[in-house]
Structure 1
Amino acid sequence: MTSQNRAEFHQQHLADARSEAQRLFAQKPALQGAWLNWVAGQIYSLRPAAYASMVRRELQRLQEPEGP
């Protein structure tokens, strides 16, 4: 994938990746300790791999503590 294609893909799918990450993150309180294994399986099943990476990055962003 060229850098232009990658940028286009990112732009086209960013909203979906953010939405999916929020959906997965929302399950954390219900699943508690089982969430990490569950979410890893959910991300593993996403295709294409570039989309799965986007969702993973958005999940990381959601888990970062807020700044002061």
Structure 2
Amino acid sequence: MAKTNFQYEKRQKELEKKKKAEEKARRKLDAKNNPKAADGSEDEEGEATDEADDGTEGDAPAQPQ
């Protein structure tokens, strides 16, 4: 029985992470350079983003007044 090549699998995971990080950095840079398109409605590919526009900013919980 053939042995599993764990080094190959690890390298593939590393390459996938790097690709994902580069894509995220590119999207972030595009949003910075073009703030009108970064309103959270659609990406360039036409997919809706995960962010909901509920009027809150950041991850901090709302403080009672």
For Structure 1 versus Structure 2, the TM-score category normalised by the shorter chain is: 0.3 to 0.5
Higher RCO (Cα < 8 Å, 6 or more apart) = 1
What TM-score results when the alignment is normalised by the length of structure 2? 0.38
Larger radius of gyration: 2
The structure with the largest helix share of the pair is 1
